[in-house]
Amino acid sequence: MERRGDVVESLLEELRRRKTEQVVKLCHIVYLPPKDGKGPRYLVNVLNGSYVLNLETGAVTDPVTHKSSPPRLAALLVKYLARYPGGKPAGWVQLERFPGGQMFLGELSKRAFRPLIETFGGDPEGFDASSRGLDGEKEKLGGLSYSFSLFPMIRILLQLWTSDDRTYRPPTANFMFSTSFLEIYTAQEAVDSAEFLVSELIRVKKRGSKPG
């Protein structure tokens, strides 16, 4: 099995061979030409923020803080730029639709579902606030439903049904992925994406709860 670093380096080589204008057009991102000693870079919107990929070094960093992105997010971003074939997201699919997706349901539960429920299962207002804080788009679906742009053409749908003390209903949630995920990502990478989204929702809530 290839190590993550080897896979990312291979994807970087693919990306460097891809025409810049093609990447910009298909992935809806911005190209930053070499300037002030910095090599060529791509600026990519991620949720409500952005990250910069340095094509020479492969580093993925926050353009404001210059901190490195989480390694799994960096791998997802590089693969998006290297392989996304274009086209708009059309509809939603569950993890089971990915090849071998059934085997990753337990991992999705452990890494995304449980932290989400523990943090927001009894806090619908907090979930709404955090979702809006990440530029989530309210959806007219079951429960509290928001869709998020992980990358410009890669979206995640999150539905939350909070607990109800009157009916003893426990909280539950549902994750779905835009059909564009199936173009390039594996079930494992879909779980990585869901985990990152939940971690960002939790981060927004914690930041908002700090005294001003």
The letter for the amino acid at 142 is G
pLDDT score of 170: 85
pLDDT score of 167: 66
More confident residue, 148 or 168: 148
The tally of CA atoms less than 13 A away on the side-chain side of residue 159 is 13
* pLDDT tens-place string over residues 117-149: 999 988 999 999 999 999 999 999 888 999 999
**Cα Dmax for the chain:** 62
Question: What is the location of CATH 3.30.310 in the chain?
Answer: 92-209
CA 41 distance to own-chain centroid: 20
Q: Which CATH architecture has domain 92-209?
A: 2-Layer Sandwich (3.30)
pLDDT band at 211 (very low <50, low <70, confident <90, very high): very low
CA–CA separation, 95 and 102 (whole Å): 7
* pLDDT tens-place string over residues 63-96: 999 999 999 999 999 999 999 999 888 899 999 9
CA–CA separation, 162 and 154 (whole Å): 26
Residue among 77, 105, 103, 90 nearest 12 (CA) = 77
- Note the pTM of the prediction, 2 decimals: 0.92
Assign 29 to helix, strand or coil: coil
Asked whether 119 and 202 are in contact (CB, 8 A), the reply is yes
pLDDT band at 210 (very low <50, low <70, confident <90, very high): very low
Assign 160 to helix, strand or coil: strand
CA 46 distance to own-chain centroid: 7
CA–CA separation, 58 and 11 (whole Å): 10
Structure tokens at 107: 């991992």
